[in-house]
Amino acid sequence: MPSTTPFIRLENLSKSFGKVRAIHHISLDIHRGQILALLGENGAGKSTLMSLLAGQLQPDSGSIFLNGEKVVLNSTEKAIHYGIGMVYQHFKLVENMNVLENIILGQSKNFWLRRSSLEAQVKELARNYGINLDLNAPIRGLSMGEKQQVEILKLLFRKSDLLIFDEPTAVLTPKEADNLFATMREMAAKDKAIVFISHKLEEVLSIADHIAILKQGEIIDRINPDAGLSPAELARRMVGRPVLLQVQRQEVEPRQTVLKVQNLSGNGLEHIELELRQGELLSLVGVAGNGQKALVETICGLQPPKEGSVRILGQDWHDFFADKQSESSLSYIPEDRQGLATCSGLDLLDNFLLTTRHGFTQGPWLHKQVAGEKLEKLLHDFDIRPPDAALRAWQLSGGNLQKLVLAREFYRKPRLIVAEQPTQGLDIAAAEEVWRLLLKAREQAGIILVTGDLAEALALSDRIGVMFRGHLVATMSRHDQASIDRIPQMMAGLNEEEHKQTQYEEVNP
């Protein structure tokens, strides 16, 4: 039974960043044996609030109590000492160390003497939670999804009394998410306190014991999931207006081929065959680390094809990327919004100009005032908060930073768009807008959407491809219900040989 005395009490916490008010006079109780879900639009203050609790930030005012005693969490080490652990939305990993070293870093003074026993513990922990990682793999070579798994293992290894999960299922398959939820329920049953931040409303309603909704830095609603609210009603309370939770999708007649990949191998890929036409949206689904990253990096010019051919807008890969004018017709929206898509130390205007500057140059001159006027309109149209072009990128929440990247890339009106996890970390209203933008963009472009959200893929796609261990094991029409029903099994690698044979027969009739 959950204790009536809160394990953690936040009392009148406030935090600002310059003129930006992140949270304001928030009071919240967190109990052992319960799962508390935090909801809110991007920039509502959820991550800031949890960063205060995890010792990553310090409040401007207010107090934190642990078991009724006032504590000062002035460092992450102090928070860990008090049993508070957090998986951050933006990972806190040492890129040059391997998986095992990141997990056990700081856990033992006799690190080298106890390494073998610690490795055995981590392996057992990974098996218990269904996490499949090479413990000797360097962090710098992992996909974003694999990095998230490392963060989750770190949290579990520390046996924290309060476990904070920030969008933990964003790159998991439905089965993996179900397994995580079962683990969270078991931890709560063992008297752990859990905070769960998610924009997936169905997940929140299924897992949470209590829900708190934040808006503009304040708690505006507290909800008991047993009250029988629908996801639509929960979204309405969060956003303040009705949210459809769906998109009106119209068929578009496919036109000329914008991408043709033939027998692409190397860099972890095996004999990839795909074709994309203007007017099509092709979703690639699969567990993170199964070749999506290598395929996207090849298509977008970050690494050359080792074997096979890639033709973009009718040009060979090498010719396309040698022509700067051609490159402007391809937009890449990477999932790493902080490290690859933006520069955290630059202001929003300079980040906007990273890929659009050629449209604002005349000879040697860069017309930043004209670019600034365009950006101001985009900040308003995409509801980027706060709408201040002078802010540094690091001052935006993850969701608002993602919207800046989307605004920048859609502004370019490309003919080929490659979007990795474009709605990851976005609230439901923002995700709904991104869906509309993607569907509208496909009228003039071919789109590859890499997503871990099968529901998103089914809602948007003309065709869906499933990746497993570097193979594109199947590609199907959105109308092929029999194949769609098998997608979860394909993502898990079941009947892989059967699907590879089917793909071979389709490509080689």
The pLDDT value recorded for residue 429 is 79
Q: What is the rounded distance in angstroms from the CA atom of residue 407 to the CA atom of residue 396?
A: 14
The pLDDT value recorded for residue 79 is 93
The pLDDT value recorded for residue 144 is 64
3-state secondary structure of 199: coil
Q: Is 268 left (phi over 0), alpha (psi -120 to 50) or beta?
A: left
Bridge partners of 222, per DSSP, are 212
Parallel, antiparallel or unpaired: strands 416-420 and 330-333: parallel
Residues lower than pLDDT 50 in the chain = 1-2, 496, 499-500, 502, 504, 506-507, 509
pTM of the model as a whole: 0.71
Q: Which residue has the tokens 């009394």?
A: 161
Q: Which tokens in the block code for residue 280?
A: 């099509």
Q: From the centroid of its chain, how far is CA 93?
A: 16
Element (H, E) at 498: helix 496-507
Using CA of residue 219, residue 220, residue 224, residue 225, what is the dihedral sign?
negative
As a three-state string, the secondary structure of 293-347 is HHHHHHHCCCCCCCEEEEEECCEEHHHHHHCHHHHCCEEEECCCCCCCCCCCCCE
CA torsion angle for 122, 127, 132, 138 (degrees, to 10)? 10
Superfamily of domain 257-329+414-507: P-loop containing nucleotide triphosphate hydrolases (3.40.50.300)
How many Cβ atoms from other residues are within 10 Å of residue 196's Cβ? 25
Rg (CA), the chain: 23
8 Å CB contact between 216 and 44: yes
The answer to whether the 8-239 and 257-329+414-507 domains have the same CATH topology is yes
What's the angle, vertex CA 210, arms to CA 395 and CA 454, rounded to 5? Answer: 65
The pLDDT value recorded for residue 231 is 87
The pLDDT value recorded for residue 383 is 85
Q: Which residue has the tokens 């998103």?
A: 456
Instruction: Summarize pLDDT for 311-345 with one digit per residue, the tens.
Output: 999 999 999 999 877 667 999 999 888 878 999 99
Residue 296: C-alpha distances to residues 291, 340, 353, 463, 491 (Å) = 9, 13, 23, 17, 18
Q: List the domain boundaries for the chain.
A: 8-239, 257-329+414-507, 345-403
The pLDDT value recorded for residue 499 is 45
Element (H, E) at 67: none
37 closest CA partner among 234, 172, 243, 239: 234
- CATH number of this structure's domain 8-239: 3.40.50.300
